[in-house]
Amino acid sequence: MKKTDRLIIYISGKDQKGIVASVSDYLYRRSFNITELDQFNDPFSESFFMRLEFSYENTVLDIEEFNISFSKEVTNKLNLNWEIKPSQNITPIIIMVSLADHCLNDLIYRIKSKELNAEVKAVISNHETLKQSVELHNIPFYYLPVTDLNRQQQEKELIEIYKKSKSELLVLARYMQVLSEETTKFFKGKAINIHHSFLPGFKGGKPYHQAYRRGVKMIGATAHYITSDLDEGPIIDQEVIKVNHSMNPEKLIFMGKYIESLVLTRAVRLHLDQRVFLNDARTVVFD
Amino acid sequence: MKKTDRLIIYISGKDQKGIVASVSDYLYRRSFNITELDQFNDPFSESFFMRLEFSYENTVLDIEEFNISFSKEVTNKLNLNWEIKPSQNITPIIIMVSLADHCLNDLIYRIKSKELNAEVKAVISNHETLKQSVELHNIPFYYLPVTDLNRQQQEKELIEIYKKSKSELLVLARYMQVLSEETTKFFKGKAINIHHSFLPGFKGGKPYHQAYRRGVKMIGATAHYITSDLDEGPIIDQEVIKVNHSMNPEKLIFMGKYIESLVLTRAVRLHLDQRVFLNDARTVVFD
Amino acid sequence: MKKTDRLIIYISGKDQKGIVASVSDYLYRRSFNITELDQFNDPFSESFFMRLEFSYENTVLDIEEFNISFSKEVTNKLNLNWEIKPSQNITPIIIMVSLADHCLNDLIYRIKSKELNAEVKAVISNHETLKQSVELHNIPFYYLPVTDLNRQQQEKELIEIYKKSKSELLVLARYMQVLSEETTKFFKGKAINIHHSFLPGFKGGKPYHQAYRRGVKMIGATAHYITSDLDEGPIIDQEVIKVNHSMNPEKLIFMGKYIESLVLTRAVRLHLDQRVFLNDARTVVFD
Amino acid sequence: MKKTDRLIIYISGKDQKGIVASVSDYLYRRSFNITELDQFNDPFSESFFMRLEFSYENTVLDIEEFNISFSKEVTNKLNLNWEIKPSQNITPIIIMVSLADHCLNDLIYRIKSKELNAEVKAVISNHETLKQSVELHNIPFYYLPVTDLNRQQQEKELIEIYKKSKSELLVLARYMQVLSEETTKFFKGKAINIHHSFLPGFKGGKPYHQAYRRGVKMIGATAHYITSDLDEGPIIDQEVIKVNHSMNPEKLIFMGKYIESLVLTRAVRLHLDQRVFLNDARTVVFD
C-alpha cells in the first residue's frame, strides 16, 4: 500500500466504558500518534461515536493487516462498527441536477480547486439544459428524463451509473424530483440533498413564496441525507440570511441561491472528511 | 410645547404618485430639514409606507397647529394615515411575564441605561415569583393569576391597568398564557410577543424539545405582534444561533434564552423608534 | 431611446434644505413614480447623498432631454452632482488577477447567471496561469507581466484596454501588484480591490500568517476603492468568519478564500447597482 | 468528599505519543466513564492540550487520593501539567469596573441565573458611581481610586482583596486603567479583559472614534487574558457587528456595548468551564 501521512478511523456503536482506552492503547502500542480525536456519547440513544485521525512515520502501513488486527483486538470485543480511510482520499461522487446550476457550479469549482476531496464521475439530469456546461469540464453528462411511467427505470439507471463508477456519494444539487422509497433506502447515509428552506419551516413546494407570504425576516437552506420521508431526512447543516419587507419572492429565490450552494458544499465537505455520523433521524457532526 | 430637536412623521396608505413630493414640499416651505427618510411601496398590496425624521431650529413648533395644517395640506388630499411624535419620546409600556425572567431583565436594563426610550408602568404576571425582583426596580408588580374560569376577568384587569397608566405598548416577555381573541384585537399593532422558535418552525408547545428531536443545526426566536391566531402574528424580527448534536433540550433552552432576549429587545426598540408598520399579515421594518 | 422600466438618479453635494422637495416635485410634475429612495445627510462633512429609483409607464423617455431639463430645473440651482442610469444597465468591466482564481471564478459565475449586471471586457494578469480557463469563457485574456522597469508601461496598457473597451469599473480580484499613484488617481472611485484581512488589522504582507501568530478568533476580508495609500482606500464592505486554535496559516488562507470572493462580489454588486458613494476617505452605502 | 457527578481533567505539556492511551486507560481501570474529550496537538509549539470530562457512579471519589494516584501513574511519567475540578464548581471571582456598567450588569445577571458558575466576591472600581447598584445585589463594593502616585498601593489592595476572598479569576469589565507589569504577572492566565475593538485593529484610545474615521463596515470586541503588553494579551473570543455610514461615534459606542458584554460573558464562561488553555501568546479554546 502507498504510504500516506494520516488515517481516519470512524467508530460507532453502543456506548460502554473503555472504548477510548482500548482504541488509544492499540494505536500507542503500534507507535501511531493521535492528532485529532472527537467523540460523543449520546445519553438518549446510548450510542457512542468517535472520529480519530492518527499519523505515522517511517512505517509502511498495510491497511489489510490493520483491518484484521484492529477488528480482532479492539472492535470485535466491543461490538463496534468502524471504517478506516486515508485522510486525503479522493471520493468518487455523482451529482444530480434539474435546471438550476448554482449548487452544481459551486461544487465543481470547489472540487477543481481541491477544496473538496472528490471526483465527479457523472452529472445526471432530468433536463438537457446543463449538458454543454458540464461537458466543458470533461465530466460525463447523462440525460435521464423522468415521467410517471419510467421513474423506476430511470432510478435503475441512476443506480447502475453509481455502481459502475464506484461512486460513494450522491449529491442532489437542486434535483427537483422525488426518489422512490427503494432508491432512498439504497442510498441511506450516502445521498445528500439541499432543501431550499430552513427546515422544518416551509416544507413542500415553493418555499420562498411561502416565506414571502409569512413575512419572515430570515430565510434558510438545509442540507440533509435523503430518506423516503421527504423533507424529514437527518440534517447535516443549515444556514440563514437576513431578508426584509422589500424583497419579493424572486429576490428571495435569488438570495437563497447563495446560501443553498454554501450549505450544500459545506455539508458535502463534512461528509467527505468523515465528520458526519447518522444517529437515527439525526446526525452527529464533528465540526 | 417644549422645544424638541427632531420629529418623526409616520405615514401609510394607498400608494399613489406625488406623496414624497407633497410631504417634502410642505416641510421645505416651513423651513424644516429632512434628516432621515425611508419609504416603501408594496407592489402587491399597493400600499405606501413612509417614515421621515426632520429637524428644526430657532423655532417653537406648535404640534397642534402642525397637526391641523399638515392634515389639511397633505394627508387629507391623499387620504393617508399619519402620526407625528418627538424622536426622543419616552413611551409608557406594560410588560407581562410568567416565570422566566431573562427577557424581562434585559428589557429593564436597556430601559434603565436609556437604550430603550420607554418607561415600565407595570409588570403583570400570572405567578408571584418575580414580584420581589421587579419591585427592587421600583416598578409596580401585579399578580394576576389565570384559571379557565377567571380568564376574561384577568384580561379585563390587564386592559384597565394598560389604560389607566396610559401605556402605548404591551410586551409579552415570555408570558405563557394565550390571550383571548377580543384582547388581541384590542392590542392590534400594540403588543409584541417573543416566540421561542424560528417561526414557522416548531409552532406549539416545547419548541426546543421539538428542535432537539428534529436534529436541527440552528435554533431561533421570533418577535411578532400578537393576533388571535397564535404563532401567526406579523413578524418584526428573528434571530438564530448555531447548535449541535451534543446539546440536549435543556442546553437548547439555555442557549435560546440568549437570542430570545436579544430579539425581543431589538423588536421593542424598532417599535419604539417608530420603524415598524403593519402590512396585513406582515410588517414593514425600516431598519 | 429604448423604453426602460426604471431609472436610477444618483445625487450628491453640499447638504441644504429642499433637495428632496425639489427632486420629488420635479418627478411628480412629470408623472414619474418614485419606487425607492435613500438619502443621507452627513452632519460632519455637511454633504448630502441621494439614490432614487423611479418608474414610468406609457411614455418614451428621452434621456438627453431629461438631462438638460433636470439639470436646469433642479441640480444647477442647488449646485449638486448627479447621474442618471437605467436600473438594468449592463456595465462593462475589467478584472485583474495574479495567480489565485477564487474571486475571478465567483465574479464570472455571478455575471453569467445574471446576478451581476456586468460584462467582462477583459481579464488582465501579470501571470499566464489563468489564460486557458479565462478564454474558455470567451473572455479576452491579456498577459501583462510586471517588472520594476516596465511598470509604467504596463499600467499604460491597462488604461488603454480599459478605455478602448469603454469599461466603467476595474476589479482587482486578488491582483498582487501595487498600482502607481497616477494610475490609482485615474481610477478614483472606479476600481475595487479585495484585501485579504479585516482592515485595519493585519495590513501589509501575509495577513493570514499575521492572524495566526496573533491568535485571533475571527479572520476577515475587506473590499475597498483603491487609493495611492495602500490598505487605506474607502471601505465598501467587510465580512468575517470564525476560526480557532487548530487552524494553521494554510487553513486560514483556505477559509479566507471563501469570504474574499463573497465580499468582493457583494461590493461589486453594490457598486453596479449605484448604491455606493465616495465620501472623502469613507463611503456611503445604501444597502 | 461530597459525591459529584462529573469531574474535569485539564492537561497540558509537551506533545508525545501515548498521552490519550495512558489517561484513558487509567480512567478505564478505575471504572470511570469518559463523557467528553477534547485534545489538540500544536505542531508549532509541539504542545499537547487535553480537556476531559468523566462521570462515575456508585462510588465515593476521594479527590486527594485521585490526585496522588493519577500523578504517580500518569502525569509524572509523561511530565504533564494537570488539574482536576468538579464540573459544577462555583468559582469565586472579582470584577473591576470604571463607569460603564453594561458588562458588569450582564455578568451579574448571568451569575444570578446560574448561567455562569461563579460567585462575585467583590466589585472594585476607581469610581464610586456604581456603588449603590452593586450593593443592591449584596455584593461588596470597594472604591479604590487611582492616581499616578497611589497606583502601586491601589493594586496591592486589589491583590489583597483577591487573595483574602480566595478568588480564582479577575474580570476587567470595562476597567479603564492600565495595571502594572508586576500585577499583570501575578494574574497571568487569571485575568480577563474586554477590549472595545476588534483587535488588532484600533489599538489605543477611543477605538470607536477610530473606527468611524476609518469608515469600517463592522465593529468588534475582543476578550483576552491580560499581559503587561496592553492590547496584546492572548485572545479568548471575539465578536463583530455590522455598522454603516449613518452611525456616528456615539452610535458605534452604543452598538459596541452589546457585543462587549456578549463577548466578555462568553469568554468568562469558557474560562470557568475550563475550556481555555494558554499557549504562549495565543489560546486553545475547546468550544
Residue B85 CA to residue B91 CA, distance in Å, equals 11
pLDDT of residue B199: 82
Binary contact (B35, C20; C-beta < 8 A): no
> In which band, very low, low, confident or very high, does the pLDDT at B58 lie, cut at 50, 70 and 90?
low
Query: What does chain B look like in DSSP terms, one character per residue?
Result: ----SEEEEEEEEE--TTHHHHHHHHHHHTT-EEEEEEEEEETTTTEEEEEEEEE--S----HHHHHHHHIIIIIHHHT-EEEEEETTPPEEEEEEESS--HHHHHHHHHHHTTSS-EEEEEEEESSSTTHHHHHHTT--EEE----TTTHHHHHHHHHHHHHHTT--EEEESS--SPPPHHHHHHTTTTEEEEESS-TTTT-SS-HHHHHHHHT-SEEEEEEEE--SSTT-SPEEEEEEEE--TT--HHHHHHHHHHHHHHHHHHHHHHHHTT-EEEETTEEEE--
Task: Give the Cβ contact number of residue D5 at 10 Å.
Answer: 12
Asked if residue D20 lies in contact with residue A34, where contact means CB atoms within 8 angstroms, the answer is: yes
Of A281-285, B189-193, C55-59, the poorest mean pLDDT is in: C55-59
Mean pLDDT of C72-91: 93
Summary mean pLDDT of chain D? 92
Mean pLDDT of D133-146: 95
Nearest to D21 among A17, A28, A36 (CB): A28
Burial class (CB in 10 A: 0-12, 13-18, 19+), C132: exposed
pLDDT at residue D163 tops 70: yes
pLDDT of residue D141: 98
Residue D219 CA to residue D36 CA, distance in Å, equals 35
CA-wise closest residue to B210 among B219, A195, B233: B219
User: What residues in C contact A136, CB-CB < 8 Å?
Assistant: 136
Q: Which has more pLDDT, B267 or D85?
A: B267
Q: Which has more pLDDT, B228 or D69?
A: D69
Q: Is D231 one of the annotated active-site residues of the chain?
A: yes
Smallest CA–CA distance, residue A32 to chain D, in Å, is 7
User: Would you call A250 an interface residue with chain C, using a CB distance cutoff of 8 Å?
Assistant: no
User: Would you call D45 an interface residue with chain C, using a CB distance cutoff of 8 Å?
Assistant: no
Asked if residue B214 lies in contact with residue B194, where contact means CB atoms within 8 angstroms, the answer is: no
Sequence ranges of the domains in chain B:
6-86, 91-285
User: Would you call C113 an interface residue with chain A, using a CB distance cutoff of 8 Å?
Assistant: yes
From first to last of its 287 residues, chain A has per-residue pLDDT tens of 344 478 999 999 999 989 999 999 999 999 898 999 999 999 888 999 999 999 887 667 788 899 999 999 999 999 999 999 888 889 999 999 999 999 999 999 999 988 899 999 999 999 999 999 999 899 999 999 999 899 999 999 999 999 999 999 999 999 999 999 999 999 999 999 999 888 888 888 899 999 999 999 999 999 999 998 877 899 999 999 999 999 999 999 988 998 999 999 999 999 999 999 999 999 999 98
User: Would you call C129 an interface residue with chain A, using a CB distance cutoff of 8 Å?
Assistant: no
> In which band, very low, low, confident or very high, does the pLDDT at B4 lie, cut at 50, 70 and 90?
very low
Binary contact (A35, D41; C-beta < 8 A): yes
**Quick one: what percent of chain C has pLDDT higher than 90?**
81
Torsion angle in degrees (nearest 10) through CA of A262, A266, A268, A270: -170
Q: Which of A148, A229, A231, A280 is catalytic?
A: A231
pLDDT in tens, B129-173: 999 999 989 999 999 999 989 999 999 999 999 999 999 999 999
Q: What radius of gyration, in Å, describes the C-alpha atoms of chain D?
A: 21
Nearest CA in chain D to B116: D254
Mutate to test the interface with C, among A34, A37, A104, A113 (most CBs of C within 10 A): A113
CATH pick for D6-86 out of 3.30.70.260, 3.40.50.1370, 3.30.70.60, 3.40.630.30: 3.30.70.260
Which residues have a Cβ under 8 Å from the Cβ of A185 and sit 6 or more positions away? A228
Length of chain B equals 287
> In which band, very low, low, confident or very high, does the pLDDT at D1 lie, cut at 50, 70 and 90?
very low
Query: How distant is the alpha carbon of residue D217 from its chain centre?
Result: 29
Nearest CA in chain D to C236: D217
User: What residues in A contact B221, CB-CB < 8 Å?
Assistant: none
Mutate to test the interface with A, among C34, C35, C115 (most CBs of A within 10 A): C115
> In which band, very low, low, confident or very high, does the pLDDT at C43 lie, cut at 50, 70 and 90?
confident
CA-wise closest residue to C236 among C244, C247, C246, C225: C225
Tell me the C-alpha to C-alpha distance, in Å, between residue D130 and each of B64, B118, C110, C151, D133.
42, 22, 54, 62, 6
Nearest CA in chain D to A287: D287
Task: For chains C and D, count residue pairs whose Cβ atoms are closer than 8 Å.
Answer: 89
Per-residue b/e over B208-218, b at no fewer than 16 CB within 10 Å? bebbbebbbbb
Residue A152 CA to residue A141 CA, distance in Å, equals 20
pLDDT of residue A58: 64
pLDDT in tens, C248-267: 999 999 889 989 999 999 99
User: Would you call C86 an interface residue with chain D, using a CB distance cutoff of 8 Å?
Assistant: no
Of B58-72, B112-126, C129-143, D272-286, the poorest mean pLDDT is in: B58-72
Residue C207 CA to residue C252 CA, distance in Å, equals 10
pLDDT in tens, C116-150: 999 999 999 999 999 999 998 999 999 999 998 99
Chain position carrying cell 498495510: A62
Residue C245 CA to residue B1 CA, distance in Å, equals 60
Binary contact (D217, C234; C-beta < 8 A): no
User: Would you call B28 an interface residue with chain C, using a CB distance cutoff of 8 Å?
Assistant: yes
Q: Is C17 helix (H, G, I), strand (E, B) or coil?
A: coil
- Residue C146 identity: V
Nearest CA in chain D to A43: D35
Q: Which of D231, D237, D280, D287 is catalytic?
A: D231
Mean pLDDT of C86-104: 94
Binary contact (B21, C37; C-beta < 8 A): no
- What string of H, E and C letters represents the secondary structure of chain A? CCCCCEEEEEEEEECCCCHHHHHHHHHHHCCCEEEEEEEEEECCCCEEEEEEEEECCCCCCCHHHHHHHHHHHHHHHHCCEEEEEECCCCEEEEEEECCCCHHHHHHHHHHHCCCCCEEEEEEEECCCCCHHHHHHCCCCEEECCCCCCCHHHHHHHHHHHHHHCCCCEEEECCCCCCCCHHHHHHCCCCEEEEECCCCCCCCCCCHHHHHHHHCCCEEEEEEEECCCCCCCCCEEEEEEEECCCCCCHHHHHHHHHHHHHHHHHHHHHHHHCCCEEEECCEEEECC
Angle at the Cα of D171 from the Cα atoms of D13 and D84, rounded to 5 degrees: 35
CA-wise closest residue to B25 among C64, D282, C21: C21
Smallest CA–CA distance, residue A278 to chain B, in Å, is 11
> In which band, very low, low, confident or very high, does the pLDDT at D2 lie, cut at 50, 70 and 90?
very low
Nearest CA in chain C to A109: C105
Mutate to test the interface with A, among D16, D19, D23, D25 (most CBs of A within 10 A): D25
pLDDT of residue B258: 87
Query: What does C53-86 look like in DSSP terms, one character per residue?
Result: EEE--S----HHHHHHHHIIIIIHHHT-EEEEEE
- What chains are in contact with B, requiring at least 3 Cβ pairs below 8 Å? A, C, D
pLDDT in tens, D106-135: 999 999 988 899 999 999 999 999 999 999
Mutate to test the interface with B, among C20, C29, C44, C77 (most CBs of B within 10 A): C20
Q: What are phi and psi of A126, to 5 degrees?
A: -90, 5
Q: Would you say the pTM of this structure is higher than 0.90?
A: yes
Nearest to B105 among D109, D136, D257 (CB): D109
CA-wise closest residue to A176 among A190, A156, A196: A196
Task: Give the Cβ contact number of residue A37 at 10 Å.
Answer: 23
Active-site residue list of C: 231
Residue C211 CA to residue D54 CA, distance in Å, equals 35
Residue C189 CA to residue C267 CA, distance in Å, equals 12
Binary contact (C105, A101; C-beta < 8 A): no
Binary contact (A109, C113; C-beta < 8 A): no
pLDDT of residue A1: 38
Nearest to D115 among B101, B115, B254 (CB): B254
User: What residues in A contact D27, CB-CB < 8 Å?
Assistant: 21
pLDDT of residue C259: 92
- Superfamily name and number for C91-285: Formyl transferase, N-terminal domain (3.40.50.170)
Chain position carrying cell 445627510: C41
Mean pLDDT of D12-16: 94
Which residues have a Cβ under 8 Å from the Cβ of C255 and sit 6 or more positions away? C219, C241, C243, C247
Angle at the Cα of D88 from the Cα atoms of D85 and D94, rounded to 5 degrees: 85
CA-wise closest residue to D207 among D130, D265, D246, D259: D259
Residue C83 CA to residue C63 CA, distance in Å, equals 11
D253: which DSSP letter? Answer: H
Residue B9 CA to residue B37 CA, distance in Å, equals 10
